[in-house]
Structure 1
Amino acid sequence: MPATSRRPSTDETTAAPDLPQGWSPAVTARHEARLMHLAGRFTSTRTLRRPDLLARAVRGRVVVITGASSGVGAALAGLCADAGAQVVICARSADLLEEVASEIRSRGGLVDAHCVDLGDDDQVRAFAAAVLRDHGRVDVLVHNAGKSLNRSVALSGVRPKDLHATLAANYIGPVRLTMALLPYMRARGEGHIVNVSTAGMLMPAVPRWSLYLASKAAFDWWLRCIACEIADDGIDVTSHYLGSARTKMSASDNVLTRLPSQSAEDAARGVAHSIAHRPRVGAWRPLFAVAGMSALLRGPADRLAARAYRRIPEPRLSASRALPQEDLVFGDPAELAQRCG
């Protein structure tokens, strides 16, 4: 058997570059210019225009929001707290969470902050228990946390962390938290679960987003299926398909930064609209036509995506951070292919 070999890549002794903490001022200014801003709003979900409707939905209620240390989650937590909700926020970054909580408290809002890694089953169960112990119930559960990954399978193939971390944040963790809280929501006969998903669920296949979209689709389908089982228990489920938003998660993508987008605050008002109105689906409506055409024209759409993959280079930051974590299972693929003819 040949000795195992590692796929050529960045020198492992070189530390991976840090991810940007937000969009650059120059790119943000370009997106806030009038025409680009209007394009971003036009391609976004319906937004909350009457704060009194949000207050009617959440005042005096317990609203749990995951991934609330920055971006859409932080902005949504502020909106719900200002509307009179008891907000419970969680994320992995304790310092950023405390900043968000302090800002909410300075305005007189009620908020509890918990440092939680959704990839850790014990932490998820402990968080659910703490919420129930402190507040006795959960009225609205917003799944906003997520892990974005724009990387080709050629680079992710020797990085098991890409698979496990993405699944944990986007699928397994949200499922475990929902399953921990759901019996108590069913016992009370009311509740609302909101999944902040991605507009990519309604679009054709997109190269390099395989792990991200697959993990988001897994939770999306799981939640849609259980919605049928819990409807008679008085629990509503909303799938909110968010478009491009100017957050830390999208800051490193050199394609998304060129497309129309919305601010985190505008995106949060879109989610707040879903909380206030409880639709089954929240999305930019033309995306439903895109979804239908994608199914009907899957072959041409996939061929077009393959052509785009060949022409659009690997995102620089993603490639530079793709340090291999394990060897190929049977040596050099080119050598084996040559031996086998």
Structure 2
Amino acid sequence: MEVGNQTLHIGFTFLGLTHEPHLKVLLFTLFTLVYTFTMVGNIGIIVLIWLASRLHTPMYFFLYHLSFVDLCYSSAIAPRMLADLVSKGLVISLISCMVQLFFLCGFASVEAILLAVMAYDRYVAVCQPLHYMTIMTERLCARLVAAAYIGGILHSLVEVTCTSRLPFCRWEINHFCCDVPPLLKLSCSGTLSNEIAMFIFGGSLVITSVLGVLLSYGTIILAVLRMHSSAARLRVFSTCFSHFTGVLLYFGTILFTYLRPSSSYSLDQDKAVTLFYTAVIPMLNPLIYSLRNQDVKEALRQIMVRTAKHC
């Protein structure tokens, strides 16, 4: 049915990652493994922090929530993407598309704020170690995490509200999920106001988070340069390396994807970037935060020993 130049349609279909049948099989197998590792890794981190009393500190409280966000983040995208790789012509309704967009934007924003909060936590631990426990109280940590979730929800509501009000005259999304840039391409009308909203709200959230990270790590670097002990420097480097690696991976892809004018979008290229931060990074985070972390290794060893004794 047509009204003016706009076609009313029951929903959208994703063009997905590829049309080649053999590549679909390969990608389905690969990303099923990625999603499985993501689930196992992040659930493992959550359970480990919950069970190990030695990990009941602010640092691991934030990591607990980061793993939860990665788990939800990946689950908002991966099941539908995998279904599209094995089934042809699956339709997603406008409401379902907006729900997916809400969770995608929401958890992406929460993760950005959480990474900035974790950088602040590392700054306090390195630069004010004697006052760490008096500054990073349970109450402050809970408020910081609550602020991250509230900020993510508010940003997501703005993006979903602006996008859902657009008139769409095409229904094939050149992507594997409902994201803002590919949806803007389907609109029959101008999208300048949406782009401005995305730059203002999304940009301010990301830039504020990045500035928080840069300020925290800039102060940490100055503190490290004033240290005379090489052992102390190595200890600080070991403490901050994992988080800084996660920050570089996440913010690098987010900034590349969203903070550009729409004229520079290459949706095929953006698929790979979006795939990286929605599927690969949630899988890598448990490895990044555990492989070099002696506390996590020791807590895991103690739980395994305790379990073996009970068996």
TM-score (norm. length: structure 2): 0.30
Task: Give the structure with the higher percent helix.
Answer: 2
Task: Give the structure with the higher percent strand.
Answer: 1
